[in-house]
Amino acid sequence: MSYENPPTIPRKSATFDDYTLSEIRRAATTGIYDIRGGGSKRRLPHFDDLLFLGASISRYPLEGYRERCGTEVVLGARFAKKPLELKIPITVAGMSFGSLSANAKEALGRGASAAGTSTTTGDGGMSTEERGQSQTLVYQYLPSRYGMNPEDLLKADAIEIVVGQGAKPGGGGMLLGQKITDRVANMRTLPKGIDQRSACRHPDWTGPDDMEIKILELREITDWQKPIFVKVGGARPYYDVALAVKAGADVVVVDGMQGGTAATQDVFIENVGMPTLACIRPAVQALQDLGMHRKVQLIVSGGVRNGADVAKALALGADAVSIGTAALVALGDNDPAYEAEYNALGTTAGAYDDWHEGKDPAGITTQDPELMARLDPVLAGRRLANYLKVMTLEAQTIARACGKNHLHNLEPEDLCALTIEAAAMARVPLAGTSWIPGQAGF
C-alpha cells in the first residue's frame, strides 16, 4: 500500500448538487425561469411524520367490519339553503378545463359521482363534460373570471372563491400557448395560441371587507341557495381562515405548499407557502377561537395520498380533504406503461411535470385530440371511484382502531409525531414523550 498522494473520492457538493447545477445551466441557456406542473418536490414535514396510537386498555376499538364508522359530511350549512351532502370526506379539487382535457374532466366527474363526492371546476370555466357527469359540482370563482357566467354559476351546486392556491400563494394562473386551442380560447375569450397569464388578484375587490360584500353579491345572485367556499393558499392560515369566516364563508379550503398546480414557476412552487401539515392547526384554531369549528367546514388539501393522510387531516380538525394530483394519478397520470414516451420527452414515469407543454402521453394534461383520446373517461372514472373507495376504507380502518364510530371523531389525542418539526406543526406530542414543542413555554 502506498501512502504517497492518496486519492480522494470525487465529491459533489451538497449545496451545488446535480439538480442545482442542471438548473443553472438551463437558466443560462434559455434566459427564462423553469415552468412546470405539480407541487413541491422537496422533502417537507408531512402526514408521514405522524402516527396513530390506536386503542389500548383505556381506549377500546371498534370491530373492523361489523361496527359502523361514518364517513359522510355536510358542507355549507352555515348560510346556504342547499348545503352539499357528501358520502365521503374526500373531494376532488379544482383543476381547470384547459390544463386538463375534456376526457379527464369527464372522468373526474364520473369517479367522484360514483364515490358520492364532489368535483370542482377551475380556471377556464365549466365544461359540459364535467357538469354532465359530476353529480355535485363546485364552481370556482377566480381572479381571471375566464368563462365565468351567471348561467353556469346557477348550474353549480356550490361556489368556491379562489383567493389563492398552495402551490403559488400570491400567484396567478398560467396556460401556455400550446394548450390554448379554439375551444379553450373561446371559453376564455382569448386569442388562440397565446401564453395566457391569469390575474393573481380579483379584479373587483381588495381586502377582506370587500370580500364580504362580494360574498353578499354572490349570495343574492344565487338566492342564498348555494354554499360559498373560500380557498386560500397556505400562507397565514390563522388570519386567512378568520377573515374568510368573518366575510361570510360557509366553507374554507386551505391548500398547503405540496398542493399541485397546472403550471407555475418552479421557484414559486418550491419556495412560497407553508407545508400542509403546518397549516391545519392554525386554521382549526381560528375556527375554534371564533366558535365556528364544525359550523364552518374546513377542507384541507396539498399532498393527500391515502386513507392515513385523510384520517390524520381529520384528526387534526379538518372536516374534509381535497385531492388533485392523486386523482390524476388514479386516472393514469405518470403511468409507467408510457415509459418509452416519457423517455422521448426527456423524463421518466413519475417525474413528468411539463404539463404546460400539452404533450401528456396519458392524455390527461393535454388538449391534443389524439393524446386525449387515449383516456377512456368511463374506465378512468372507475379507477378514480375505486381509489376513493380505498382511501375511505383505509381511513375507516384507522378510525375504528382508535375506537371512533365516525371519521370526524378522530382527534389530535389519537396522534403522536415522529419528528420535532412535525410535533411542533401538528401540535401533538413527540412519540414516547409528552412534549409538544412550542407549548407550555418550551
Partner 1 sequence: MPVIDLAQTGLRELNAALHSQGSGTNETLWEVLNPRGSHAVAVGVNAPIAVEIKGSVGYYCAGMNREASVTVYGSAGPGVAENMMSGEVRVKGDASQYAGATGKGGLLIIEGNASSRCGISMKGIDIVVRGSIGHMSAFMAQAGHLVVCGDAGDALGDSIYEAKLFVRGAVKSLGADCIEKEMRGEHLHALQALLNRAGIVDVKASDFKRYGSARKLYNFSVDHADAYG
Ligand X SMILES: Cc1cc2nc3c(=O)[nH]c(=O)nc-3n(C[C@H](O)[C@H](O)[C@H](O)COP(=O)(O)O)c2cc1C
In whole angstroms, give the CA distance from residue 85 to residue 116: 9
Nearer to ligand X, 123 or 250 (CB): 123
Strand order in the sheet with 119-120: 90-92, 320-323, 297-301, 251-255, 228-233, 158-162, 137-141, 119-120
Task: Name the grid cell of 4.
Answer: 504517497
19 to 38: interface string for ligand X, x by CB under 6 A: ------------------x-
Among the candidate windows 2-10, 211-219, 337-345, 411-419, which touches partner 1 by CB under 8 A? 211-219
Query: Residue 377 in contact with residue 114, Cβ under 8 Å?
Result: no
Please give the helix or strand (H or E) that residue 370 lies within, else none: helix 369-372
Task: Name the grid cell of 81.
Answer: 339553503
Nearer to ligand X, 259 or 317 (CB): 259
Q: Which does 122 bind (CB under 5 to 8 A by kind): ligand X, partner 1, none?
A: ligand X
Query: What is the nearest approach in angstroms of ligand X to the Cβ of residue 93?
Result: 3
Among 2, 5, 15, 30, binds partner 1 (CB under 8 A): 30
Among the candidate windows 25-33, 122-130, 327-335, 379-387, which touches partner 1 by CB under 8 A? 25-33
3-state secondary structure of 219: helix
**Residue 260 is a binding residue for ligand X (CB under 6 A):** yes
**Residue 32 is a binding residue for partner 1 (CB under 8 A):** yes
**Residue 99 is a binding residue for ligand X (CB under 6 A):** yes
Among the candidate windows 28-36, 62-70, 116-124, 406-414, which touches partner 1 by CB under 8 A? 28-36
Query: Residue 413 in contact with residue 329, Cβ under 8 Å?
Result: no
133 to 172: interface string for partner 1, x by CB under 8 A: -----------xx--xxx--x-------------------
Please give the helix or strand (H or E) that residue 416 lies within, else none: strand 415-417
Residue 66's CB: how many other CB atoms inside 10 A?
7
**Nearest to 287, CA basis, from 322, 320, 256, 246:** 246
Among 202, 231, 374, 400, binds ligand X (CB under 6 A): 231
Q: Which does 96 bind (CB under 5 to 8 A by kind): ligand X, partner 1, none?
A: ligand X
Query: What is the nearest approach in angstroms of ligand X to the Cβ of residue 154?
Result: 20
Query: What is the nearest approach in angstroms of ligand X to the Cβ of residue 102?
Result: 14
Per DSSP bridges, beta strands 251-255 and 50-52 are unpaired
Number of residues this chain uses to bind ligand X (CB under 6 A): 30
Q: Tell which positions 112-131 bind ligand X, by CB under 6 A.
A: 122-123
Going from the C-alpha of 269 to that of each of 85, 177, 333, the distances in angstroms are 33, 21, 20
Residue 386 is which amino acid? N
Among the candidate windows 52-60, 96-104, 174-182, 412-420, which touches ligand X by CB under 6 A? 96-104
**Nearest to 230, CA basis, from 246, 212, 251:** 251
Q: Which residues contact 129 (CB under 8 A, 6 or more apart)?
A: 97, 102, 103, 105, 106, 109, 377
Residues that bind ligand X (CB under 6 A): 37, 39, 93-96, 99-100, 122-123, 140, 162, 165-166, 231, 255, 258-262, 301-304, 323-326, 365
Contact set with partner 1 (CB under 8 A): 30-32, 144-145, 148-150, 153, 176-177, 188-191, 193-195, 199, 203-205, 210, 213-214, 216-217, 220-224
